[in-house]
């Protein structure tokens, strides 16, 4: 997606990757309007880095030591973007001209320091037009935001911020245009990924009990989740909300299966929390 007649957007697109040859080319080929493209690689063993070079991206090598900072914060702190703004984009997320036009209209006169972005999700090869919307604070003014600091000390195998929330020093807005999120690596990959996320969430839940100050930095949605994550009804509440209240039922079988798998995910977190509590010293 190249537009030589349009000025480059003053945005560094940072794409954190590991073995993303299946998605990366499609992601990068849509980024011709951005002033800088950076691929932050965690030791890929496939053709990920070759694809990044072919598309003119700057490659940053990252090796995690199991402690703070993880991938996105490490990049911001140690090899920072060269543009005024940074957009964190996963390899299975794809921008279009409407999104780029929205940035071109918004950013030059912006007084904000971060923007929420909404995503069009796909599941089992079909778009999900209903359900709980995916939303991320993914566009940040450089020097005005870092992701939450969580001292993991080796309890996680996830080298990148997944559920950590950016803390923005300033006003936050929202971009109306959306990004397409489409991971075509199949249901086995979806399950494996959410198994890892569940283990991380359970460990994070345990650490939150000893750090009450962190609640002040959370969004209302985060606070609600962590206050109720271990309760028996939470997985079924999520299913009912996304499938019925948010009309996921209108997405057909894909809507049902997505809601069911997410309920399984939250139930898995809850059971891990219960296991950890039962095995704690003094139990």
The full set of domains in the chain, from first to last, is 9-181 (3.90.550.10), 187-278 (no CATH)
pLDDT number for residue 154: 66
Task: Please tell me the predicted confidence (pLDDT) of residue 213.
Answer: 78
Q: In a structure prediction context, what are the per-residue pLDDT tens digits for the chain, which is 283 residues long?
A: 556 678 999 999 999 999 999 999 999 999 999 999 999 999 999 999 999 999 999 999 999 998 899 999 999 999 999 999 999 999 999 999 999 999 999 999 999 999 999 999 999 999 999 999 999 999 999 999 999 988 777 667 899 998 889 999 999 999 999 999 998 788 999 999 999 999 999 999 988 877 777 888 888 999 999 999 999 999 999 999 999 999 999 999 999 999 999 999 999 999 999 998 888 776 6
Would you state the pLDDT for residue 283? Answer: 61
Q: CA nearest 198: which of 279, 136, 274, 266?
A: 266
- What's the confidence (pLDDT) of residue 2? 59
pTM comes to 0.94
Which pLDDT belongs to residue 217? 81
Q: Left (φ > 0), alpha (ψ -120 to 50) or beta: where does 257 sit? A: alpha
């Amino acid at each position: 997606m190249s537009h030589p007649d349009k000025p480059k957007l003053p945005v560094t697109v940072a794409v954190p990757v590991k073995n993303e040859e299946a998605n990366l080319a499609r992601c990068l080929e849509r980024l011709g309007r951005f002033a800088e493209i950076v691929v932050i690689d965690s030791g890929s063993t496939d053709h990920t880095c070759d694809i990044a070079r072919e598309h003119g991206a700057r490659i940053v090598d990252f090796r995690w030591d199991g402690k703070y900072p993880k991938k996105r914060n490490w990049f911001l702190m140690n090899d920072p973007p060269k543009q005024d703004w940074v957009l964190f984009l996963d390899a299975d997320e794809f921008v279009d001209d409407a999104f780029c036009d929205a940035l071109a209209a918004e950013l030059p006169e912006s007084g904000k320091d971060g923007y929420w972005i909404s995503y069009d999700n796909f599941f089992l090869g079909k778009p999900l037009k209903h359900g709980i919307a995916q939303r991320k604070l993914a566009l940040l003014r450089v020097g005005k935001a870092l992701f939450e600091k969580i001292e993991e000390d080796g309890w996680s195998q996830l080298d990148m911020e997944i559920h950590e929330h950016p803390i923005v020093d300033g006003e936050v807005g929202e971009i109306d245009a959306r990004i397409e999120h489409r991971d075509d690596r199949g249901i086995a990959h979806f399950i494996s990924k959410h198994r890892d996320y569940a283990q991380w969430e359970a460990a994070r839940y345990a650490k939150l009990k000893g750090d009450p100050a962190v609640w002040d930095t959370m969004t209302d949605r985060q606070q609600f989740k962590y206050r109720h994550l271990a309760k028996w009804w939470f997985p079924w509440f999520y299913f009912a909300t996304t499938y019925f209240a948010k009309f996921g039922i209108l997405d057909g079988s894909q809507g049902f299966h997505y809601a069911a798998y997410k309920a399984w995910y939250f139930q898995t977190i809850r059971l891990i929390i219960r296991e950890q509590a039962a095995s704690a010293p003094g139990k």
